[in-house]
Structure 1
């Protein structure tokens, strides 16, 4: 999605008329369904004024494309500014420009990380060159259209308020500035020169439209890429906060080995890359000769990772890399160099099968390592035994004299990068009220089914593609098949639906096991993992009554250990019991509904709840609108068979269909014909075409339908003509033809008058149109037609 798209000329006009910030603000509200804070609006006003000045250079074509706030594929990140056109060799080119308001920056000892001042104080962030390059690389990685059609991407950064670039251009960052140069306040002319090197001709082939609507390749799956990552390959490009967390962790790990113990708390919701950063750290810290382990309370991600690594490493090595959170009850202090605790919200107080070992898992993890990273999302606590929260971690770190650093991950890589979908889920489950009460403009496949059998069939169908679709449910049915292999578990009799919970033999590998799409999983077999599509059966533990979400732990199966102790707590503290279980039930469905990267399919056992989700999942009817090619023309249009060619009718051409190749028009029998007024003496060399742009607005208004005579003979000096030449481009539409006043200079050579220079002049009161001068006009110049007048 692009918030703002225009030509360079239109962009400059919007800036000069002081409309640009208001236009973008309105488009953000319309397309993204959010209001823009005043600080954001001011940044657009400021930065885009500077960009318009850079683009004033006449050698940057007026028909170059300008795109603002382009949504990176599969993420919630946006590119500030993109200039599109063609380079000197007429290759498609897009310059990605990261705009910054910074006035100064400080160097750090972390790769691609600098320190600068923001609204709420100074903090570390990505070097602008790294950010611009990573965005460019992400587009190229995800967008098959960019690769297959050889659209050349060139990143850079423009810090228009910064007076000194010494820090940003320090040799320490040269690896990144070499990929994406950085320009500061006094570099405006240098930036113009840079843009002209990559965009010499306009965007006549809708480059940004092709990028925006390009084919997006499927997202990588962490489990599938695991072996390659542990061998040191960069399978996932880390952007923004991911890069900052990774580099901060590397730095703190080294400090911890020599100086004071360190604890890093990383907060992040579903799909923000917590596990990706953890696995990258596991690989890098191991390479740096630290004793490091990946830790998770939930067995499912550990066992899936181990299975994926089978055959690439020794089993003993694999087992030592991945551990459960209860494995540290008897470790010595600082025995490990680093422990990476994923899904830290799932940590328990006690360990062991019967919950009778150790004192506190958080304490044991901090005590046992010099450096520990807790990746946490408190909204994914799904059992009464889960004690993982930020305050508890900080409390134990303080007691064990471990210095705490807190960071957050917000870049969304799951659910098609849609913050909107995650907010919609929270709103539906009434976890919090959000602005995303509908799915309008949310690029994520959500469907609500009236029949669980149809839901299952849809998931099975999606699974045929990549074996990455599964059906899950709230734990509202007993696990009968655990003892009786022939028994059914999830039974919904009114629909003749029966299914079994995940097989015992699959265990924690259910998400990747062959044919496991035939069973139903639960929170314990999918948390911490991801799929392409997830089907969710919402049971009677979550229902809607008169628009209000009502949760009832009593409607959960007695087999469900996640609420073990609920009845005792209900007797001792009923209000607390209801509050805690309400949170657990809602968090459970939130977690289940965010396992899919591409889509979530739903069925609710309760009819009123189903109607509620159907209503919230309904999207606006998208009526297909086709642009009438001859709109605003009151004269009758006919096909060849229904016209009287060159008697009452002449051909009419769509301007954009002619772009770059007017002389190769379609067969006359295939084009449309327009009936001319009676007073026009029709000749068989006439045609009609719309003129767009303001370059001839003293005589021809923008959008006028005009009559031309083809291939005019005789002198053309002083006439308005339609010409085509491979070395020109029209400033309004970027094509290799243009409509201008014709003026030629001739020289006698061997007694013959030869054109030595042709000037194509605009006739306009608009800003920025310049004559097109051809010093070697005899090569490839074609005068297509002479303008006769406006007909509509």
Structure 2
């Protein structure tokens, strides 16, 4: 029986007309450039929740079916699906284990594939990359990557790449990308760009999506609107423990509901348990998941706090988000500010040789933190619950929410 994450990405999930047209465009592009002497790249852009992964899952399934058909132009091609996210890779390999024509070994992390191909002096035909904004853009010796850029390394090994890219989901300096950076890197290659713009994940009114985009974009704190709760459960909590209890209740009712948090609380990969404490609320951060089941689908993780690293790319039914110490209200009470001194995720902000200017690094830290908030706010299909650590922001949001409830 398929779990919920696998169902979401199954190639048998019926695509929308926009998604189906995009899949056909991608297949035409692959066939047209399969034998070019220089690599070609098909780029799919779109915000979180617009169905990019669904498109890639169906596309790769179709390519592999064609590769197994002896009369197809794709016959006997060697193709790989890549994602630089261990939790999401588990989902794709679970899919491969359930469907004919798909092999688990066709789903790889980029570093593993690059190192193996280089060691054997081999190449491949088509690479499909989900979450390409998570590709390394500098060496990472700790993870055995000694090249300068994942994407450049892969372009040396294949004929065609199909990638999805969302600049708002860049989360670490070692995977630091912007759309301009990507365009400059791809300038020498044949390329085609397409965009997905319809929000599929959240059953939310466009006004709530706009509120989130302003919160994490220009950092403007727009007024809360009654329309936020049309077909969607949006709530502000002044008490983190009460938010946890509400999430536990929703998890019992519909499943796949979790507490998640931004940075701002101690967390190190030392094998120990590190707790987030907010008043009566006290839960440990998520632990490294050594199982084949994604973190969000392990029942016991209802008693943990998820991070961006365990939740990115996944649908939750309900998400309770703790806006940690770096997320504050501005002095005038109108905008969000990011206090970079409160960031505790040191792994995300390791030194880059090409980013030595302190103002550039500071701006990048602010942007990456806002990106993470955007991703976490858009995890919930049915509902989003918020709690803010900063007393001024908590009071502002609670007052706005109280005003909203009085209107109703």
TM-score tier, shorter chain, comes to 0.7 to 0.9
Cα distance in structure 1, aligned partners of 2:113 and 2:380: 32
CA contact (8 A) 1:366 1:397 kept: no
After superposition, the C-alpha distances for 1:393-429 in whole angstroms (9 at most, x for unaligned) are 3333343xx3110111001101115432221112234
Query: Is 1:326 matched up with 2:111?
Result: yes
1:468 and 1:309 map into 2 onto residues whose CA distance is 22
Task: Could you tell me which runs of 5 or more consecutive residues in structure 1 were left unpaired when the two chains were aligned.
Answer: 1-219, 624-792
TM-score normalized by the length of structure 2: 0.85
Matches within 5 A, 1:709-728: none
Conserved? CA contact 2:5–2:91, under 8 Å = no
- Select which of 353, 366, 369 maps to 1:582: 366
Partner residue, 1:246: 23
1:424 match: 211
Task: Please tell me whether the aligned partners of residues 455 and 535 of structure 1 are also in contact (alpha carbons under 8 angstroms).
Answer: yes
Residue range with higher mean Cα deviation, 255-264 or 610-619: 610-619
> 2:152 matched to 1:363?
yes
Indicate the RMSD between aligned Cα atoms, in angstroms.
Answer: 2.9
Q: Which structure has more RCO (C-alpha within 8 Å, separation ≥ 6)? A: 2
Q: Return closer, same or farther for 1:285/1:505 CA change in 2, 3 Å cut-off.
A: closer
Closer, same or farther in 2 for the Cα pair 1:498/1:569, shift >3 Å? farther
State the match for 2:35 in structure 1.
Answer: 258
The superposition leaves residues 315-346 of structure 1 with CA deviations (integer Å, 9 ceiling, x where unpaired) of x921x222112234343699222211111112
- Following superposition, the deviation at residue 620 of structure 1 comes to 6.5
Distance 1:432 1:551, change over 3 A: closer
Matched, 1:295 2:295: no
Relative to structure 1, the CA distance from residue 545 to residue 433 in structure 2 (aligned partners, 3 Å threshold; closer, same or farther) is closer
> Which structure is higher in helix share?
2
Residue of structure 1 in register with 2:347 after alignment: 561
Give the one of 50, 56, 65 matched to 1:272: 50
- 2:320 matches 1:532: no
Q: Specify which of 265, 268, 271 is matched with residue 483 of structure 1.
A: 271
In the TM superposition, residue 293 of structure 1 has moved relative to its aligned partner by 2.0
Which of 462, 465, 468 is residue 256 of structure 2 equivalent to?
A: 468
Contact 1:469 1:517 survives alignment (8 Å): yes
Give secondary structure in 1 for the equivalent of 2:234. Answer: strand
Match of 1:348 among 130, 136, 155: 136
Report the 3-state secondary structure (helix = DSSP H, G, I; strand = E; otherwise coil) of the residue aligned with 1:511: helix
Cα distance, 1:355–1:258 mapped onto 2, change above 3 Å? closer
| Aligned counterparts of 2:209 and 2:394: Cα–Cα separation in 1 | 19
1:438 lines up with 2:224 in the alignment = yes
Q: Aligned runs of 1:5-84 on 2, under 5 Å?
A: none
CA contact (8 A) 2:238 2:395 kept: no
CA contact (8 A) 1:222 1:276 kept: no
CA contact (8 A) 2:283 2:305 kept: yes
Alpha-carbon offset, residue 366 of structure 1:
2.1
Residue 202 (structure 2) aligns with: 415
Q: Does residue 403 in structure 1 map to residue 190 in structure 2?
A: yes
- Cα distance change of structure 1 residues 459 and 506 upon mapping to structure 2, 3 Å threshold: farther
> Separation in 1 of the partners of 2:177 and 2:27?
23
Q: String of CA shifts for 1:419-463, please: whole Å, max 9, x gaps.
A: 3222111223453659x6433323332111111111111111111
Judge conservation of contact 1:334–1:369 (CA < 8 Å) in 2.
no
Q: List per-residue Cα deviations over 1:130-183 (Å, max 9, x = no partner).
A: xxxxxxxxxxxxxxxxxxxxxxxxxxxxxxxxxxxxxxxxxxxxxxxxxxxxxx
**Distance in 2 separating the partners of 1:589 and 1:281:** 30
Unaligned runs of 5+ in 2: 68-76
- In structure 2, the partner of 1:99 is none
Superposed CA offset, 1:499-544 (max 9, x none): 1111334578211112111101101111111111111111111111
1:376 aligns with 2:165: yes
Pair 312,248 (structure 1): closer, same or farther in 2 beyond 3 Å: closer
Of residues 370, 383, 404, the one that matches 1:599 is 383
Question: How many equivalent residue pairs?
Answer: 386
1:480–1:489 contact (8 Å) kept in structure 2: no
Change (3 A) 1:575 1:397: closer
Contact 2:220–2:336 (8 Å) recurs in 1: no
Aligned partners of 1:273, 1:433: CA distance in 2, in Å?
27
- Rounded to whole Å, the distance in 2 between the matches of 1:553 and 1:536 is 19
Q: Distance in 1 between matches of 2:47 and 2:269?
A: 34
Q: Name which of structure 1's ranges 501-510 and 344-353 shifts more when overlaid on structure 2.
A: 501-510
Whether 1:500 and 2:284 are equivalent positions in the alignment is yes
Are 2:111 and 2:145, in contact at CA under 8 Å, matched by a contact in 1? Answer: no
Q: 1:396 to 1:255 in 2, by over 3 A?
A: same
**Contact (CA 8 Å) 1:347, 1:362: kept in 2 or not?**
yes
Alignment CA distance shift 1:509-1:281 (3 Å): same
Deviation at 1:347, TM superposition (A): 1.4
- d(CA) in 1 for partners of 2:180, 2:252: 44
C-alpha distance 529-586 of structure 1, shift in aligned 2 (>3 A): same
Q: In the alignment, is residue 510 of structure 1 matched against residue 295 of structure 2?
A: yes
Displacement of 1:464: 1.3
- Structure 1 stretch 436-445 or stretch 276-285: which is displaced more? 436-445
- Shift in CA distance, 270/437, structure 1 to aligned 2, threshold 3 Å: farther
SS in structure 2 of the partner of residue 237 of structure 1 = coil
Whole-angstrom distance in 1 between the partners of 2:36 and 2:167: 30
For the Cα contact (< 8 Å) 1:344–1:376, is it kept in 2?
yes
1:573 is displaced (CA, Å) by: 2.6
2: distance between equivalents of 1:284 and 1:481? Answer: 39
Of 167, 171, 175, the match for 1:386? 175
Q: Using structure 1 for the length normalisation, give the TM-score.
A: 0.45
* Cα 1:477–1:274 shift into 2, 3 Å: same
Cα displacement (A) at 1:297 = 1.6
Q: Report the CA distance between 1:564 and its aligned residue.
A: 2.1
Deviation at 1:610, TM superposition (A): 1.0
1:573 equivalent in alignment to 2:357:
yes
